[in-house]
Amino acid sequence: MTQSKLLKKGYADILIGLQYGDEGKARVVDFLAKNYDVIARFNGGANAGHTIETKEGVKVALNQIPSAIFYKDKILYIGSGCVVNIEKLAKEIEKIKNLGINLKNRLKISCQASVVQPHHLLVDAEIGKTVGSTKNGIGPCYADKAFRMYGKRLLNIRLGDLLEDEKKYFENIKNNLVSAAKFYKLKTENPEIQIENLKSAFRLIKGYIETDTLFLQKKVEKGAKVLFEGAQSVMLDVTKGSVPYVTSSSTIAPSAFVGGDLSINYYRKTIGIAKAIMSRVGNGPFASEIGGKKSEEYCMADEGIKYNYEVEKKYNVSDFIKSNDDFKIGIALRILSGEYGTVTKRPRRVGIFDLVQLSYAIKLNGVNDLVINKCDLLNEYSRTKYKKIPLVVAYKLGGEKIDYVPGSSDTYYKVKPEVEYKEGFNYDISKIRKFEKLPKSLKDLAKFIEKFCGCKISGLGVGPKRDQFIKK
C-alpha cells in the first residue's frame, strides 16, 4: 500500500477569524466540535481569549486550551506553533477542573512549544504598548524563538527542554530574566521567587506534555478528524495583516499545518468566521470604523481605560443610536453588541460590515464555508439615521477603485470606503433556528454577500447564547 493511500484515513479542517478578532470563533468551535475527534491550537498563546458557554449559561474564558472542553471524548491539542505561559496554563487547568471537567488523557501539549519566560512578560509590558499588545509576552517569545541564542545562552526554551533537565533550563530562564532587565533598564521582582513560582506551575502541567512529535499525525493516520482552531484573526497576521499593528504569530489558514504538527496532505476545508458588526482592538487602519479617527482616538485614550464598559453602560443608548453623529452611533452599537475587552473591559473600535476586506480574507485563506455572527444586531440599523444596513462594497485610493487590502498600513489609512445600503429589518430574530424563517431582507443580504465574496454561507449567529445559531 502506498503512502498516499495511508494519508487519506482522517482529515483536518481549519477554523479562522476573518477580521480583527473577537468574531465568535469559540462558540462556532463549540457548535462544531461534536463532528471532530481533536480540537487543536496552532498559533498564539495566552492572548487568545476564547469564551464559551455551558448549556446552563455559565461562561468560561479560555486563553490557551482549545474550545471544546465540554465534550468529554475530545482531545485538546496545543501545537508547537503556540507559545505557552506555564503559570497561566496551570491556573486555566485548575479552573477547568473546578468545573468538574477531567482533562486527563485529553489535553496534549507539544513538547516543541516554546515557553513564555518572565523576561518576555517584562519586555512586552514596556515595549509592546505601541502595537496594542496584550502584555502576555507573546511577541518577545516569538522573537527569541527566531533569535535562538545569545552567545552561549539559550533564548528559546521549549517545554521538552524543561522535561529533559529542569535544573539547567530554569537556571537559563533566570539568567535570561536578569540579562533582559539589565539591557532594557527595567525593574523586576526577585528572580529567585519568579523562578520558584514557575517551577511550581510546571509541575502541574508537565503530565500533559506530549513527547511524541508525531502524536497528531498518528491519530489522523488512524482516522481521527481534526479541527484547527485559529487564535486572533487573519487581518492580524504578522505578515499579511496591517503591519505593525498585528499579532506576533502567523494566523492564516496555511499556518495551521506547520504550527499544528500535521502533514498538509490531510487538509479538507477552511471555515471562516466573521461578524456583521465589526470591531478592532488597538491601533491600526480600520476603513469601516464608525466615527473614524475620533473613534480610534477615543478608544485608545489611556489604552481605553478612561472610557471603559462601566462608563459607557451609563450612556443613553436610545439617544445615541438615533443621533446624527456617527461617533455616538458607534458607541451605541458597541454597547448593544458588548464590544469590550474580555479582561480590560476597554472599548473596541466598531465598524460596519466591510465586504472588500472580507472578500480579501476569504481569497487569501481559501475559505470554503463562511459563518457570520451577530446578525441579530443588524436590526439596530433601523433605528439609526442610515435606516438600512450599510456595507462597504469598494475602496477608493487616490480616486481609483481597488478590490484588495493595501499591503502598507500607511496606504490602508488613506482608502475611502464606498458604502451601499441594503434593506434591513426591525424585529428580534434571536429565537429563529431555521434559515427559511428569517426575514426576507436578511436572506437577500446573505445571498448578496455570497455572490460578492464568492463563498457560501454555512451558518449565522442570531444571538450571543450557545444555541442561538442557524445552520444554513
Residue positions annotated with a catalytic role: 22, 50
Q: Residue for cell digits 493595501?
A: 406
DSSP letter for 348, please. P
Q: Give the H or E element holding residue 269.
A: strand 267-275
Q: Which of 235, 236, 263, 243 is nearest to 404 (CA)?
A: 235
> Burial of 251 by CB count in 10 Å (0-12 exposed, 13-18 middle, 19+ buried)?
buried
Pull the grid cell for residue 23: 468574531
- The separation between the first and the last C-alpha atoms of the chain, rounded to the nearest angstrom, is 39
Q: How far is CA 452 from CA 42, 160, 438, 446, 461, in A?
A: 30, 47, 20, 10, 20
Buried b (16+ CB within 10 A) or exposed e, 19-38: bbbbbbbbbbbbbbbeebbb
Distance of alpha carbon 427 from the chain centroid: 30
- Please confirm whether the linkage preceding 244 is cis (ω < 30° from 0): yes
Distance of alpha carbon 209 from the chain centroid: 23
Q: Which of 383, 450, 448, 462 is nearest to 420 (CA)?
A: 448
User: Which residues 6+ apart lie within 8 Å of 72 measured at CB?
Assistant: 101, 102, 106
Q: Are 3 and 216 in contact (CB under 8 A)?
A: no
How many degrees, rounded to 5, is the angle at CA 384 between CA 381 and CA 387? 65
Question: For 114, phi and psi rounded to 5 degrees?
Answer: -75, 150
